[in-house]
Amino acid sequence: MEIAIAVPAKTDAGRAEIETRAQRLPAALRSLLLLVDGQRGALELDAIARRLHAPADALEQLAALGLVTASSAGVPHPADAAASIHEARSDSDAQRHLVLYALMNDATRAHLGLVGGYLTQLKLERADDAAALEALLPMLQTALTKARDARVAAEIIAGIRAAADTGTGAA
């Protein structure tokens, strides 16, 4: 299968994996799978995968697991209206998750360092959705306050919130 030139779409197994988490995908692969919608091209998804620090062959891995397949470019996967609405919500949450994860991860690396940021990084990795990451923002702010100061920590957290709201079209 040539995912690199096609528009990937979730298979039935891929949609089931989103719901059940049966295969316990690494966070980066799961996040990428959430964004596969039959509309985004492989190049766009590859760029997202790089920002997630996913393997270079992330789409191919998902295809090998039977979770994605090539679809016709621009043709949405047939689904009933309720499933389409649910998937749109999932995609919006997934995009917010990606933005929050990337920004929080970057702040942890830049300001907390390897030793100071280790536990924070573990918590970020375990956060499965945007709400879980948002719940970690106060903890990150406390850690940043200890490592830097309260003003810098507040600015970083405000920047993360603003970017996440802007990056997902939230108000």
Domain extents in the chain: 3-72, 94-167
For residue 81, what pLDDT is reported? Answer: 39
Between 82 and 57, where is the model more confident? 57
Percent with pLDDT over 90 in the chain: 25
33 half-sphere exposure, CB direction, 13 A CA radius? 30
pTM (2 decimals)?
0.50
Express each pLDDT in 108-150 by its tens digit: 988 998 777 888 888 988 888 899 999 999 999 999 999 999 9
